[in-house]
A and B are shown apart, each in its own frame.
Chain A
C-alpha cells in the first residue's frame, strides 16, 4: 500500500490545482503545488528503508489481460529514478512559481496540472512491476506533456508539438509495443525478473539484437540517434518544462526504460554472451560524439543544452549497452548526476531569460558580474556535467569508464574521454564569456532574476557538490540491484 501514496499524490495534486485554479488565488494554488511536491518526496523517501532491508513493496491494481497485470513494485533502480523525479520536483515547483509569474504566462492552471500529472506518470514508470504497466505510464507521460510543450499555442508550438508527438508516439507504437508484444509472445511473461526472462530458451543473436533494437529505438524518450530530433524542438516550451521534463522526467524515463529492460528483461549475462548488444554500443557512441559536436555550434543556450542532454543520455544508453554490472551502476548513477547538473543549467538559462531577456550565448558577455548567483550555479553545474571533481558527475563517469573497459574496449572508453573534452568546449565558453568579458553598455542596469528563479539553481548546484561528497547511499542502493532477490 505504501507504494500507492507517492503514485497517487501527484494525481491528487493535479485535481487540487484544477479546483484551486477556479476558486482560489494563484498563490494558494502554487503554494499547494510546492507543498504537495514536498509531501510526495517525503513518501518516496519512506520507501528507502524497506528497500534497503530487502523488502520489495508492491501493489496490484487490475488484471488487464489473462496473466498480464497492471501492478507496481519498488526495486532499487526504480526507487533511484523516483527519488530523482520527485526530489527535483520541489525546486522546480518553486522555480516554476517564480518563472510563470515573472513572465506573466497565461493558462497557468493547465500548466501546473499537466506538470503534476507528468510527475505522477514518471513515478508510475519508475515503480512498474512489468513492461505492460511501464508502457501504459510511458505513453501517459507523452500525452500529459504535450500540453506543456505546446504551452504557447502558437504556430511554433504547434510545429514542435507535432514533432514531439510524431516521434515519441510513432516509435513507441511501431517499435516499443511490437517489442513488448514479441517478448510476451516468445516468453509468456512481461515481469521484470532478476537475470532476464529469456533464460532457458534458444535464441539466435540476430533475433535478440533485433528485439533490443525495438526497445532501444522504441523508447525515443532516450533520444538515441536518429530519433533525437524531438528534444531540441521541445525547447519552445517554458523553461521550467525544459528543466524538469527534458532534463529529468521525460528523458530519464526513456533511459531508465532502456536500462531496466536491459537488466531485467534481457539480463546482462544473456546479452553479453550472445553479443547482441554490440551494435547498440556503436549507435550510442556515435550519438554521443555527434550531438556533442552539434552542441558546439548552437548559439541559442537552450538548444546547446538540449544537444548536450542528448549526448549525456547516450552515455547512459552506452552504459546499458556494455551489459556489465559496473557499467549498469554507472549508468544508473549518471541518471542522478546528470539530472541534478542539467536541471541547474536549465534553471540558469531560464533565470537569465527572465532577468536579462537573453537567449543567445553571444549576448551573454559579462553576465557573471551582473548575475553572480546564477552564473556561479551555472559554473558548478557545468563542471559536474563535464565530470570534474569535486562534483557529482565525476562518480558516474568513473563507473561508466570502468564499465567501458570491462564490457567494451579502449575505443569506447576513449569516446567518453573525447566527449568530456567536447563538453568542456561547449560549456566553458559560456562561463568564460560571463566572467572574463565586459558587459556591453546597454546591459548596465541588469540584475538577478526574482529570488524564486535564483534560489532553485543554487540549491541544485549545492546538490552537485553533496553528491560528490556522499555517494555511498546511492551506491549501496544501486548495488542491491545485483544482490540475489534484488528484483
Chain B
C-alpha cells in the first residue's frame, strides 16, 4: 500500500496542472472560481504538511516514476523549498477567494474561465519551481509561470482606454524572455560541463570545475537571469507597470508570490549550485549585489514617494522591498540571510494585503489615483484601516511582521561589520513612512467627493484582505513558526550549500 503523504511533493504540482485545463473545459465562471480556490486550499494543505514533515524528519527526495536522479526528474523538498511553497500557496488561498467579485468587474464574463485557467497555471509554475530538484525543470516551470503571467496581465486592459496592460505585458514578455533565456543558457553550460541537470549532482561536481570560464559564464547568466525575474535594480523596469496595470487580483497575487520564487531561484543558484564552487562569490555579493540592492531600496522608495497612483506607489515600494531581501542575501551571514528570507513571507502578507485593500477601493471608485480617492477613509473606513495596518507593516513598526525582517537585517549589518548599512536600512524605512502617509493623508485629511455615493467593499473581498493584514500583525508577535523555518533555511544555505 502506498502512503498518500509520500506523493505530496509531486501532487503539489500535478493537481493544479490538471485543474487548469479542466477549468477551461467547464466554461463557467463560478465553477472556474470554485476549482481554482479549491486548488489553492489543496496546495496550502500540502505545503504545510510538507513543511511539518521536513521540519520533523529532514529533506524528502521524490523520484518521479522511480527514475534515478541522473536519468529522470527528482523533486527535492527541504526546508527552503517547503518554506517557499507555503508562502506561495498561503497567499493564493487568500487571493483566489477574494478574486470572485473583484475580477468580474474588470474582465468580461466570456474571458473569466480563461483567466482562472491562467491563474492556476501560474500557480503551477511557481509551485513547480519551488518543488523541483532539477535545474532544467526550473526553467520549464519558470516559462509556464511567465507565459501565464503575460496573459493574466494583458487581461487588465480597460475597454475604451489605451491598452496599457497589454503594453506592460509586452514589455515584460521581452524582459522575461531574456531572463528565461539567460537561465536556460546557464543551465546549458552547466550540463555541458557536468552531464547532469540534477541540482544535488551539480553541486557535487561543480567545485572541481570552478576555475573554468564556462562555469563562470553559467554563473553570470543564471544570476542575471534570476535578477531580471526578481526585478532587481537595474533590471526592475518591467515591474512597476506590470503591477500598476494588471487586474488588482493579479497585482496582489504576483507581488506576493512571483518575485519570492525568483528570489529562491537566485538563492539556490548562489548557494547550492555555485556556493562551494566559486570562492569569490562572497566578494561578488558584497561588491556587486549589495550596492545594487541598496540602490534598489533608495530608488524604489524615492519613486514611490513621487507617485500619485496608489498601485504605482505599492509597485515601486516592491522594488525597494526586493532590495531589502537581496541586501539580506548580500550580507552573506546568518542574521542577514534570515532577514532576507523572513522578509519574503512578511512582505508577501503585507503587500498582498495592501494590493487587496487597494482592489477594494478600486471596486467602488473605479480608480486608484490619489486625486479620486480623497476622503476614502470616511467612505470606506474598514478598507482604509486595512491599508493602514498593512502600511505600518511596510514601514516596519514593531508588533508587525515588517519589524521582524528589519531587526534581522540590522543585526546582519552589524554582524557584517558595516554599521552604516544598519543606519541606511533604517533611513530607507523612513521613506516608507513618507509614501504610506501620503496615502493616509489623502484618505483622512481631504473631504470626500460628494457627487458619488460610495459604500464599503463586499465582505467576500474584505474578509480575505483582513485575513492577510491581520496575519502580518500576528506573525509580528508570534514569530516562531515561520521565523524558525526561515532561520533553518538560512542555516542550511550557509552551511552545506543546501543539498
Q: Which residues of A contact B (CB under 8 A)?
A: 61-66, 70, 132, 135-136, 139-140, 143, 150, 153-154, 157-158, 161-162, 165, 169-170, 173-174, 177-178, 181-182, 184-185
B483, A182: Cβ atoms under 8 Å?
no
Known A64-B477, A169-B430, A178-B422: A143·B392 in contact at CB below 8 Å: yes
Show 10 residue pairs from A and B whose CB-CB distance is below 8 angstroms, ordered by the A residue. Answer: A64-B477, A70-B477, A136-B398, A139-B397, A150-B445, A158-B445, A173-B430, A181-B414, A184-B411, A185-B415
CA distance A178 to B427 in the complex (A): 11
Task: Provide the B358-396 mask, 1 if CB < 8 A to any CB of A, else 0.
Answer: 000000000000000000000000000000000010011
Which of A153, A165, A182 makes the CB contact (< 8 A) with B433? A165
Nearest-CB distance from B385 to chain A (Å)? 11
Instruction: Check A136/B399 contact, CB under 8 A, given A150-B445, A170-B430.
Output: yes
B407 near A158: Cβ-Cβ < 8 Å? no
For the complex, what is the distance from the CA of A385 to the CA of B480, rounded to whole Å?
48
Complex CA gap A183/B407 in Å reads: 13
Q: Which of B397-441 contact A (CB under 8 A)?
A: 397-399, 403-404, 407-408, 410-411, 414-415, 422-423, 426-427, 429-430, 433, 437, 441
* Given A158-B441, A181-B411, A182-B414; A174-B479 close (CB under 8 Å): no
CB distance from A206 to the nearest CB of B (A): 14
Name the contact of B483 in the complex, choosing from A65, A153, A177 (C-beta under 8 A).
A65
Give Cα distance in the complex from A169 to B395, angstroms.
10
B361 to chain A, nearest CB (A): 19
Cβ B426 vs Cβ A63 within 8 A = no
| Inter-subunit contact A177/B397 (CB<8 Å) | no
Is B427's CB under 8 angstroms from A174's CB? yes
Neighbouring B residues of A158 by C-beta, 8 Å: 441, 445
Q: Is the pair A61, B433 in contact by a Cβ cutoff of 8 Å?
A: no
Is B478 part of the contact surface with A, judged by Cβ < 8 Å?
Answer: yes
Q: Tell me the bound Cα distance from A184 to B433 in angstroms.
A: 25
Question: B270 CB to closest chain A CB, in angstroms?
Answer: 25
What 9 pairs between A and B have smallest CB-CB spacing? A136-B398, A185-B414, A181-B410, A173-B426, A136-B399, A62-B478, A158-B445, A139-B398, A174-B426
Chain A residues in 8 Å Cβ range of B430: 169-170, 173-174
Q: Once the chains bind, are B392 and A65 in contact (CB under 8 Å)?
A: no
Contact of B426 among A143, A177, A184, A185 (CB under 8 A): A177
User: Which A residues touch B408, using CB under 8 A?
Assistant: 65
Pairwise interchain contact A61-B477, C-beta atoms closer than 8 A: yes
A78 to B217, CA, bound (A): 61
Q: How far is the CB of A82 from chain B (nearest CB, A)?
A: 20
Contacts of A178 in B (CB 8 A): 410, 422-423, 426
Q: Does B170 sit at the interface, judged by CB under 8 A?
A: no
Contacts of B483 in A (CB 8 A): 65
In chain B, positions 286-339 with a C-beta closer than 8 Å to chain A are none
Query: Which of A62, A65, A140, A154 lies at the interface centre, i.e. has the most chain B CB atoms within 10 A of its CB?
Result: A65
CA distance A439 to B430 in the complex (A): 50
B444 within 8 A of A: yes
Chain B residues within 8 Å of A132, by CB: 398
Residues of A within 8 A of B396 (CB): 173
Output the least CB separation between A239 and chain B (Å).
21
Chain A proximity mask over B460-499: 1 for CB below 8 Å, otherwise 0 = 0000000000000000011110010001000000000000
Whether the pair B477, A174 counts as a contact (CB closer than 8 A) is no
Give the CA-CA distance A140 to B398 in the complex, in Å.
8
Contact A64 B479 (CB under 8 A): yes
Q: How far is the CB of A107 from chain B (nearest CB, A)?
A: 10
Contacts of B433 in A (CB 8 A): 165, 169
With contacts A136-B398, A174-B426, A178-B426 taken as known, whether A185 is within 8 angstroms of B445 at the C-beta atoms is no
Contact pattern, B 251-295, Cβ under 8 Å of A = 1, otherwise 0: 000000000000000000000000000000000000000000000
Residues A181 and B407 in contact, CB atoms below 8 Å apart: yes
B404 touches A181 (CB 8 A): no
Q: Within the complex, what minimum Cβ distance (angstroms) separates B341 from chain A?
A: 14
CB distance from B324 to the nearest CB of A (A): 14
Cβ contact within 8 Å between B423 and A174: yes
